Structure 1
Amino acid sequence: MTELLPWQAGAWTELVKRHRKAGLPHALLFTGLAGIGKHQLARYTAKWLLCLRDEDQPCGQCHSCHLWEAGSHPDYLLAQPEEGSKQVRIDTVRRVNEFLSQTPQISRCQVVGLRPVEVMNTNAANALLKTLEEPAGESFLLLETERFGSVLPTIRSRCQRFVLETPPEAAALGWLSAQGHAAATAAQALRRNHGAPLRANDWLRADQAGQQQRLLELLVQWSRGAAPLQATADGWSKLELSDVTHWFYGFLSDCIKVSMGVPADTLTFGNEVSLVLGGATPSAAKLIPLHDKVKEILGRLLSGAGHYNKQLLIESLLIEWQALLYDRQ
């Protein structure tokens, strides 16, 4: 069933208020961290807009709601990267435009969900512009992004932004507990995933704690000169490159915080940072260039625009990291 998450009551109230006051815009862009429930809220909004009753939530009883729950509503289209691709391509947007050129079959309007907007390539974005500027009939585009700054300006300027905040820690931990996770592991997962409950849940289900612990152990050995480059890089290469770079980016962020005197109990990785650094922390000025490089690589990987030789890239990053450690002057 399509339902709101426990911490989304306030966001839903705001959406309903906007709609009752002036109507929701033709294009609404949901923004916020990965794993806080943007897609769930967008789907609930779509179900509500398509509902045949004029209430402050989907009624769940009308023909439209029944079709929605069956996954066969003819007035809804979800546009996202096709299997095997990380980008929203022009063919997908053409299907959106064709869909919106038709008239609603059941509901008063048509709704398109499009996610994630930041991986839409330039050709696809250009194909969507006319639809954003001149919507056909009664239609709504509900777009989602985890990286608002990476959305093309031409798309951003034609949408109304709706920001979702990270849920309160108590609500997030309560939800993770309801998913069957112990309090201690839930807290660790939430810290590692920047307070995003859905991402923390996936992190726990996939045993990413164990995977990241192995990355850390290999980095400790490499940093101390106790393991050869090949063995360290081979160990890191067993994971997806985006997962490795995401982890390393977060680790470098913590290193920068340590260099600026931030207490260990506020760090994403806690005392593990000091374990790698061995008591001598490079300055922020030396850490930031590598941090920015990893950030750029990660952004390209997430957008589908990054094509790297995994082994060579990992070896390069490890060499830069070790050189940084030995150059603390």
Structure 2
Amino acid sequence: MRAFEIETWVLRVIDQVARNSHCEDSLVELKSAWPKPAAAARQIAAHANAARGAPILWVIGVDEISGVSGAEATELADWFSSVRSQFNHVYPDLQDLNVWVGDHTVVALLFQTDRAPFLVKNTVFGTPGGGSVEWEVPWREGRKTRTANREDIFRLIGPLVRLPELEWLDCSVSVRVEKRTDGVSNQKWYLYGSVYVVPSGPESLVIPFHRCSVTVTLANGAIIDDWSDFRLSPPYRMHLSRGAGISSSVDSMTVGSSSSEVIISGPGRVKFEASIISEQDLEPASGSVSVVLRMNAVGANASSVIGETLRPTTHDADFKAKWELSRAAT
């Protein structure tokens, strides 16, 4: 995952904290301070085992109740070396990133979990009354860490659904001011774009719209992520015929859709669009915006994630601001 995608994820989590919204889940853990290595290793192993292939995010310097306090300076290499020593040979690969949040710096720790199962030392093994169990397979359930049971082990050794490859083709974000009948002005944001999707196996991918999300982060840090009418579709070809007027047809051999999901049987282009009315007066500000798209196929435990930076562009008088990315002809 690229640095700005991690940063966008972190800022989205912190935005949820600011809204007093529960944000710790099966993929996110917040820590107000650096945890002790032995305890951290057990929690990381449990979190990674339960994630089944999806990357997990730990943010140091944030508490779900008290908010952002920042992470104290520490030698990450030494800390993670101590954490790593608690694992039985295989441990989750780590990608770290410092993220500025106001006057504080928090540390994002992104762990890859595709090498599960992960085993950690039983810290009381070898001590009087410590028992004969040397290694443990921890498991995360909700916010609790426990030893994996038989059902959990079956989940761990079961096949993982390989995620498809995604490639940006084009994307645009725009905003304009609209007046309601009562005279109150709102901002309406529009999102359009397309990605090229390459399934990793012969099975068709079914991606429900409600399992997708888009996060747009403005240059001033404002986040737009409540795109309630998000939808995916195949590309369409327009036809003009005498008598029948203008009609359209699906321009894809591998992508189809219904009112609630898109079905992908092979490599192909997938279009997406959404809009949202904001009662907040979000100042678009100058500078670029970042867009992160997440799509979760049926049967996949993790989301396919792709992100890109959009640059400001010229726009007509109807729009207050517009940003675009273009990688291919639309």
TM-score normalised by structure 2 residue count: 0.26
In terms of fraction of residues, the more helix-rich structure is: 1
